[in-house]
Amino acid sequence: MDLSDLEKAILEYLEKQNNGFKWVLGKKVFTKDETIRLFKEDEKFRKMIVEQAVLLAIDLFEKGD
């Protein structure tokens, strides 16, 4: 698995979260371990998260917050 700098940063962020980290997308509930596992193994999932992170960064820069 060859990760880009952004992907590495996201993975590091996820690993730093406490064990109670949980989020929901549609019908699916993701725990910390599940998120990290999918981020490492599932390319589609990883791309989706990276896309969301990039869109957030663009949004924050546009708003200048």
Q: Interhelix angle for 5-16 vs 43-63, to 10°?
A: 90
Q: How far apart are the first and last CA of the chain?
A: 34
Enter the tokens of residue 16.
């730093």
- Shortest distance (Å) from residue 45 CB to other proteins: 13
- Which residues within the stretch 3-62 sit at the binding site for other proteins (CB under 8 A)? 13, 17, 20-29, 52-53, 55-56, 59-60
Query: In angstroms, rounded to a whole number, what is the distance separating the alpha carbons of residues 22 and 27?
Result: 13
- Shortest distance (Å) from residue 29 CB to other proteins: 5
- Cβ closest to other proteins, residue 1 vs residue 20: 20
The residue ranges that bind other proteins (CB under 8 A) are 13, 17, 20-29, 52-53, 55-56, 59-60, 63, 65
